[in-house]
A and B are shown apart, each in its own frame.
Chain A
Amino acid sequence: MRAERGGRGGRTWWHPPGTVAPADSASPVPPHGFRPGGRGAILGALALTVVAVALVASAWGSVRIPVETIARMVALRLGLPGAGVATWPASWETIIFTIRLPRVVLAGVVGASLALSGATYQGLFRNPLADPYLIGVASGAALGATAATVLRLPPSLYRYGATQWCAFAGALVAVAFVYGLARVGGATPLTTLLLSGVAVSALASAANSFLMYWYGDKLLVVYGWLLGGFTTASWSQVFQIAPWLLLGALVMVPSARLLDALQLGEEGAASLGIDVERLKIILVVVATLVTAAAVSVSGLIGFVGLIVPHIVRLVWGAGHRLLLPASLFAGAIFLILADGLARTILPIGEIPVGVLTALCGAPFFLFLLRRSKKRLF
């Protein structure tokens, strides 16, 4: 009875029965305003840049080795056709394959891990200040590493340093705590998650500070680890963390569309049919694993996870389908270059790479920020 007063009964507005679709529906042309394609081209170019930058950075150091020689050495090792025969001293092989290349690759994997997790966290929290250390990874890992040092755990535990294991475990425990504390009646509001992250981080930092104060003789070792770096890089470390990055990329990059939808707020995303709670826990778990793995081998390298996604966003826009994979490659490029500079810029010794990432990243970011008229979010 009421239906008579409304529209024409139960006809759906979208597909009126018996009508032919309007003329424009035959045209597959996207409406003006859909971001132009070229995603594949951008990502391909970035991937090639990663390889090029890795070769160039391998050439840097006290022994100068030409880039094309390094390329041929790598091609020969990989058994690629056309590599020719070895015409270089055996010592170069040692320098490249046991010292420089593992370090360059490790820096790349860590940079990619931090930037990808950072982009995911920024999207998840809809907060430009979010970084992969936001909800407890950093303080948990630091506490784990400090504990391993002061407890004098054996330096090598199951093919992996005790510090690394404890940092990895500490990061996971801290984030698990944060997530558990933020859970209210089956839901985990993002604001609560942020605040409980701040609280747990403060608690872990306090415990960490106490340990460092009490065991003052270990201060330098712990502090060196906290600053972060790749001085102890080895292939085994690369193989320890690369699978985590692969797993993370296989989960995070395909979730880009859902992260886009999450930018409409939790309720907005839910009304689009997304199980927001499940999306949150999957992304937090994966991003935490990837970050914790990276931190366990490199220590706390700041800035990469915060700034690289912002730079990518300023250049190519806020859509996560390009932002996530582009951040992955850009993070690798950024940290390979930063670490290359960090180990060669001083005549003797190294600058901690975390210091260098801030030193060169911050001015570049400010330059982009001032030049761009775009809003970040």
Chain B
Amino acid sequence: MAARESERGGREAAAGIVLRDLRFAWGGRAVLEGISLAVAPGEFVGLLGPNGSGKSTLLRLIAGTLSPAAGAMCVAGLTPGRATRRELARRVAVVAQTPILPDGFTVAELVLLGRTPHLRPFQGEGEGDYVVARRALTAAECLDLAGRPLGELSGGERQRASLARALAQEPTLLLLDEPTAHLDPGIAQGIMATLLRLNREEGLTILASFHDINLAAAIAPRLVLLHGGRIIADGPPAAVITPPLLRHAYGYDARVLPHPQTGLPVALPGYGQGVP
């Protein structure tokens, strides 16, 4: 019990990410090159970049499911590769873009699987785990889904169920890979509101990749733009969502206007020379 308390105390500092000169290659072709990034505990960072720029690879490296070819990294106070998978999973949780979910399981059973890193390999769940699972369902705002089979859920409900499973791991750092990529704007907005609340009210550190530039700008106070496996911009939305950077990274000819309510940048397709 005392060990758990001291672990909890250490976790406050153990939420951030420090990457130094990270490199990753698939069969000789560099996917990520010279990645240096520091995310402080409690931050909400949005990861932007075109398809193939290395967003997912970077998230996998941080989650420890891939190992870098070179460079140093410290994730939630641990070194992936040196710490055990279980230690890492107790601090870092991942929500995939299209998670694989077993249709025959209920949402509650899925969320209880989030307790796996806190249980010994052959141990069953105890009452404490039910309490945590219930709170995770509440925090992900899907307690009402608990009894539903996963096979019957809509896309948005699947993402909420996955989020609840991730929260049941009691992480200090949450990684999300385009969590709203295939969802309708209203559903995506709802999930983003939940993430923002977890970040602001509970201090959960979040690193999420985004497909939608404007959604990222509206949600994350800090954006990191990847292009060709390198970080080409890092800062507040106004510094990252600019026509030259969007053209360079995405080949996207955009006009950027301030949002009438928030003043945050909004990118719209530009209709300049050569664009119909």
A residues within 8 Å of B by Cβ? 1-3, 5-17, 22, 24-25, 27-35, 126, 254-255, 257-258, 260-261, 263-265, 267-268, 270-275, 313, 317-319, 321, 374-377
Chain A binding surface, main DSSP class: loop
Q: Could you tell me if A2 and B222 are in contact, using CB atoms closer than 8 angstroms?
A: yes
What residues of chain A lie closer than 8 Å to B130, measured between beta carbons?
28-31, 34
What residues of chain B lie closer than 8 Å to A10, measured between beta carbons?
12-13, 15-16, 41-42, 203
Q: Could you tell me if B122 and A14 are in contact, using CB atoms closer than 8 angstroms?
A: no
Q: Could you tell me if B135 and A267 are in contact, using CB atoms closer than 8 angstroms?
A: no
Partner of B104 from the list A5, A33, A313 (CB cut-off 8 Å) is: A313
B residues within 8 Å of A by Cβ? 8, 11-13, 15-16, 38-44, 60, 63-65, 84-90, 92-94, 96, 99-110, 112-114, 116-117, 119, 121-124, 127, 130-131, 133-135, 137-139, 143, 145-149, 151, 167, 169-170, 172, 198-205, 221-222
Q: Could you tell me if B65 and A267 are in contact, using CB atoms closer than 8 angstroms?
A: yes
Please name the residue on chain B nearest to A376 by beta carbon: B104
CB distance from A273 to the nearest CB of B (A): 3
Q: Could you tell me if A7 and B202 are in contact, using CB atoms closer than 8 angstroms?
A: yes
What residues of chain B lie closer than 8 Å to A319, measured between beta carbons?
104-105, 109
Sample (26) of A-B pairs whose CB atoms are under 8 Å apart: A2-B38, A7-B201, A8-B203, A10-B16, A10-B203, A11-B12, A12-B12, A28-B130, A31-B137, A32-B108, A33-B109, A34-B108, A126-B100, A255-B122, A260-B109, A261-B113, A263-B100, A264-B101, A268-B96, A271-B63, A271-B64, A271-B65, A273-B85, A273-B117, A313-B104, A318-B104
Q: Could you tell me if B127 and A28 are in contact, using CB atoms closer than 8 angstroms?
A: yes
What residues of chain B lie closer than 8 Å to A267, measured between beta carbons?
60, 65, 96
CB distance from A265 to the nearest CB of B (A): 4
Q: How many A-B residue pairs lie within 8 Å, measured between CB atoms?
A: 206
Please name the residue on chain A nearest to B172 by beta carbon: A12
What residues of chain A lie closer than 8 Å to B86, measured between beta carbons?
273
CA A30 to CA B137, docked complex, whole Å: 12
Please name the residue on chain A nearest to B235 by beta carbon: A2
With A11-B203, A313-B104 as given contacts, are A271 and B40 in contact (CB-CB < 8 Å)? no
CB distance from B61 to the nearest CB of A (A): 13
What residues of chain A lie closer than 8 Å to B199, measured between beta carbons?
6-7
Please name the residue on chain A nearest to B221 by beta carbon: A5
What residues of chain A lie closer than 8 Å to B123, measured between beta carbons?
257
The CB with the most chain A CB atoms within 10 A, among B122, B131, B204, is that of B131
Q: Could you tell me if B113 and A374 are in contact, using CB atoms closer than 8 angstroms?
A: no
Q: Could you tell me if B43 and A6 are in contact, using CB atoms closer than 8 angstroms?
A: yes
What residues of chain A lie closer than 8 Å to B105, measured between beta carbons?
260, 263, 318-319
What residues of chain A lie closer than 8 Å to B87, measured between beta carbons?
273
Q: Could you tell me if A33 and B148 are in contact, using CB atoms closer than 8 angstroms?
A: yes
CB distance from A329 to the nearest CB of B (A): 20
CA A144 to CA B112, docked complex, whole Å: 45
Partner of A31 from the list B41, B85, B108, B121 (CB cut-off 8 Å) is: B108
Q: Could you tell me if B113 and A272 are in contact, using CB atoms closer than 8 angstroms?
A: yes
CB distance from B194 to the nearest CB of A (A): 12
What residues of chain B lie closer than 8 Å to A271, measured between beta carbons?
63-65, 89, 92-94
CA A10 to CA B198, docked complex, whole Å: 13
